[in-house]
Amino acid sequence: MASRDPSGHALHRETLAVRLSVERSQYGENSEALYLTSGYVQPSAEASARRFAGEDEGYTYGRTGNPTVTSFEQRLAALEGTEACMATASGMAAVMLMCFSLLKAGDHVIISQSMFGSTLKLIGTEFARFGVDTTVVPQTDLAAWRAAVRPGTRLLFAETPTNPLGEVCDIQALADMAHGNGALLAVDNCFATPVLQRPVERGADIVMHSGTKYLDGQGRVMAGALCASAAMVRDKFLPVQKNSGMVLSPFNAWVVLKGLETLDLRMKAQSAQALALARWLESHPAVGRVYYPGLASHPQHELAMRQM
């Protein structure tokens, strides 16, 4: 389905979150079909060869593509405002795919010390074994990020707000810093989701997701994604994904696709409840400190209100 209505008007994000998908099947189903298949019947040996070589469009094998997964990718890209998206088996598979696709021995990465623990271990420890050097900096200290930049810096990777303390960093400032030094900025947007924050609108190059969290929203399946330009998805992520197999299962894609339909409503309701709860906790005599970016007492409250 196109992102415009029949008279050419752009559809709202909330509409795309419900409607955007690959073409309906011949049965005209209202809810997107769940294509549980590992392979696809090919029209001819020649057509199959062209598809496998990437010269023609068309599905060949489950590790290289699936229509239900494509629907999830199209919908999340529309919500994030990126040209394309690549789904992965989990959030950590998304981090893995990004690093495998973009980094090589000798490259340097800067990440915040407040990032999700597995992200810190995967990049800081596992990729170190392959010669990728990482500097870990305080999340909100822009001067520390700047001081860490060096000629081999290829990637700045931030999570904002962080899990679980809700520290917020300035996406635009980090994007400017990355681009001024020939590097890319990736943002883990797992906690905010595109309903509350769209990092590419502030200069980020890659938006990473754990779909396991709010995108599904009901604790059912693991999922992940990288949203980026069409060129980056096609030329960097796809070749690695095709050969490494960290793919999202069609069933999980379908579940998260359904989750995206209610994402807007859920995020707004959750945020309203969270703010009410945070205010109540802040006024409670037994509570020492409350970490919530929506509270005026949060150290990055003003920044959070500006970029979220």
Ligand X SMILES: Cc1ncc(COP(=O)(O)O)c(C=O)c1O
Q: Which residues of 138-162 are buried (b: 16+ CB within 10 A; e: fewer)?
A: ebbeeebbeebbeeebbbbbbbbbb
Select the span of 5-13, 36-44, 84-92, 284-292 touching ligand X (CB under 6 A). Answer: 84-92
Is the previous residue joined to 164 through a cis bond, with omega within 30 degrees of 0? yes
With the C-alpha atoms ordered 233, 234, 240, 242, is the resulting torsion angle positive or negative? positive
26-35 contact pairs (CB < 8 A, 24+)? 31/258, 32/68, 32/71, 32/254, 32/257, 33/67, 33/68, 34/68, 34/250, 34/251, 34/254, 35/66, 35/67, 35/68, 35/250
Of the candidate residues 71, 139, 212, 307, the single one contacting ligand X (CB under 6 A): 212
Q: Which two tokens stand for residue 218?
A: 């009901």
Binding mask 38-77 for ligand X (x = CB under 6 A): ----------------------------------------
Q: In whole angstroms, how close is the CB of 221 to ligand X at the nearest point?
A: 9
CB nearer ligand X, residue 153 or residue 193: 193
Contacting ligand X (CB under 6 A), which of 35, 59, 116, 145?
116
Number of residues counted as binding ligand X (CB under 6 A): 15
Token digits for 173?
């400032």
Q: How far is the CB of 188 from ligand X (least distance, A)?
A: 5
Q: Where are the beta strands (DSSP E) in the chain?
A: 84-88, 108-112, 133-137, 153-159, 184-188, 206-210, 224-228
Query: To 5 degrees, how large is the angle CA 228–CA 66–CA 6?
Result: 70
124 belongs to the binding site for ligand X (CB under 6 A): no
Interface pattern 167-196 for ligand X (x via CB under 6 A): ---------------------x-xx-----
Binding mask 129-168 for ligand X (x = CB under 6 A): ------------------------------x---x-----
From 70, 114, 140, 210, residue interacting with ligand X (rule: CB under 6 A): 210
Cα 155 off chain centre by: 16
Measured CA to CA in angstroms, residue 261 lies from 48, 249, 264 at distances of: 34, 19, 8
Q: Which residue is nearest to ligand X (CB)?
A: 91
Contact pick of 92, 156, 195, 226 for ligand X (by CB under 6 A): 92
Residue among 66, 70, 71, 90 that touches ligand X (CB under 6 A): 90
Residues 220-259 that bind ligand X (CB under 6 A): 222, 224
By beta-carbon proximity to ligand X, the closer residue of 84 and 89 is 89
Q: In the complex, which residues of this chain contact ligand X (CB under 6 A)?
A: 90-92, 116, 118, 159, 163, 188, 190-191, 210, 212-213, 222, 224
